[in-house]
Amino acid sequence: MRYHSFYLKVLFNIILIPMLSMSTGCSDANKRVDALDTSPYTDIFGEHVLVFDDAMDKEAMCKTLEALHEQQEYSEFGTERYALLFKPGTYDLDLTVDYYVQALGLGRYPEEVTINGAVQSIASTNNNKVTTMFWRGAENFKVIPRDDKMIYWAVSQAAPYRRMHVAGSINFDKGSWASGGLLANSVIEGRAGLMTGQQWFTRNSTIGSWEGGNWNRVFVGVAGAPEDTWPEKPTTVIEKTPVVREKPFLTYAEAEGWAVFVPALQRDTSGPSWIHKDEKGELIPIAHFHIAFPDKDNAASINAALASGKHLLLTPGIYKLEETINVTRPNTVVLGLGLPTLVPQSGQIALATDDVRGLKLAGFMVDAGPEYSPTLIQIGSPDAAADHSDNPTSLHDIYCRVGGASTGQVATTLTINSNNVIGDHFWLWRADHGTGTDWMEGQHKHGLVVNGDHVTIYGLFNEHFQSYQTLWNGEYGRTYFYQSEIPYDPPNLEVWNDNGKPGFASYKVAGHVHHHQAYGLGIYSFFKGEPEVSKEVRLENAMEVPDHPGITIHHISTFAGRNGGINHVINGLGPCTEPGELKHYDRFKGSEKE
């Protein structure tokens, strides 16, 4: 059974006042309950933002969460979007997060919203696989596991666990295949890790210990990271995060009301930004934001608000855009709640920025639309040249998608023209299943093109595009953790070749570039299609970079699934990877291990 939005609204209205007489348990979630009042928060954020406080009836809260879980658990390409907001307080419940649901604590620090139980993602497919458990998130809670039970955040891409304090242990899969994910700005007091999960990226966190993992795991600025024993284990450890701004987040306090906190820029850090409760940054009152709704706003109304000096808060839903959203003023914040999704309708760019400093764009998706767009997101004009090193633009939890939910057309999903941009977790995906996935249904060349200089990206997931997944044209670029499956479905090497070389390298640094760094990269092939054809489809190089002394690439893992394979790891060097093989190679150590 699937619950309609109306029923969720009914449940939502009930839980926003104390329920002293209700005794229905969670197992009775199918029972119809009449609405008693209208939420005062519906007028602020809309009916798909559910606001909780710890004075509400526990059973009513549980009933609403059960109904939402049942509706969203397997809604991989659904249209519903939700944000669950928890005011400061203490809650006794298991909070389960599913497709297109974002759970957010509203305190200034995680301990201000404490969950006695779990903040978890536990849905899976056959044999406990979670390789398609995407598009969800949890932020800014302290979690005290009940009876010291393991917390499961069993996910793959686009499912960050951020700004969390787990007073126990956590596992990022359920014992079968997983392909995630991200832990950032968090504390795990106990053990964190994987059983069979393919890869994981951890940044600016403190963990009691790490266990497990399969193909590629990277730790940047993490206290408690495992020992780097490459190539015995595919682990990459960087002690300090060179430059980062943590993701902005919504807060609520009785004195200040609703506001968005924007953490300050930090350099050469390890561990969480909030650990000493002295986090620097800017608290922006909600009155300074234009709160957008998918059924009321369009690009014109959003652009008018941005031009007037407002920041932008996107509430959950799908925004079909006939024009480009233009972000032109420095230091503007664009923050999404509940994975709002922008879809260009007329072949335009969905969101473009001027070459200005200090932008913060966070927490939204962009789907390719029915008409061919040159790019979905463009950061800076094509002639961008300004130095923004003292106040970089930062992008957080940005997801772009071509196909899957609907057929889409785009050349490049994300184009970065400005200098000094910080990327904090991207998933750029040409769909390998769902709608609009056939090779000839569009020209989808690149996930990411970087033209700006001094661009740093943490956690880059980029998959299945028809040319280079990542094309880096700017100088002094840096990538920390890269996960990429090349396309599953090239029909033959006649249509999928780079000037005669089999296929296109996943990660390409242009020949004119003299300075570039990349650490902890996993590049994989899973060629499908007719066996007699796909066995002949191969990739010549997983990576291609110029042979210049300023180019440093450390720790590359390659894996080949059924059919075909990868001839070389980088620039004609490194071992051949045949079906079923996992190889580890270091560009500068010359090491390899099967």
Catalytic residues, by residue number, are 485
> CB neighbours (10 Å) of residue 271?
18
Block residue for tokens 């040319």 = 467
Per-residue HEC secondary structure of 13-72 comes to: HHHCCCCCCCCCCHHHCCCCCCCCCCCCCHHHHCCCEEEECCCCCHHHHHHHHHHHHHHH
Compute the distance between CA of residue 397 and CA of residue 460 in angstroms, rounded to an integer. 10
Per-residue HEC secondary structure of 356-425 comes to: CCCCEEEEEEEECCCCCEEEEEEECCCCCCCCCCCCCCEEEEEEEEECECCCCCEEEEEEECCCCCEEEE
Compute the distance between CA of residue 260 and CA of residue 252 in angstroms, rounded to an integer. 9
Per-residue HEC secondary structure of 330-358 comes to: CCCEEEECCCCEEEECCCCCCEEECCCCC
- For 470-590, list the strands marked E by DSSP: 470-472, 477-485, 497-498, 501-502, 507-509, 516-525, 538-544, 551-560, 565-570, 582-585
What is the distance of C-alpha 61 from the center of its chain? 27
Compute the distance between CA of residue 248 and CA of residue 419 in angstroms, rounded to an integer. 21
Question: Alpha carbon of 458 to those of 9, 93, 371: distances in Å?
Answer: 38, 33, 31
Reported as type and span, the H/E element at residue 202 is strand 199-203
Block residue for tokens 């999903």 = 413
Compute the distance between CA of residue 337 and CA of residue 258 in angstroms, rounded to an integer. 14
Q: Which residues are within 8 A (CB) of 6 and not within 5 positions of it... i.e. 6 or more apart?
A: none
Under 8 Å between Cβ of 149 and 195: no
Phi/psi region, residue 531 (left: phi>0; alpha: psi -120 to 50; beta: rest), is alpha
What is the bridge-based pairing of β-strands 592-593 and 394-402? unpaired
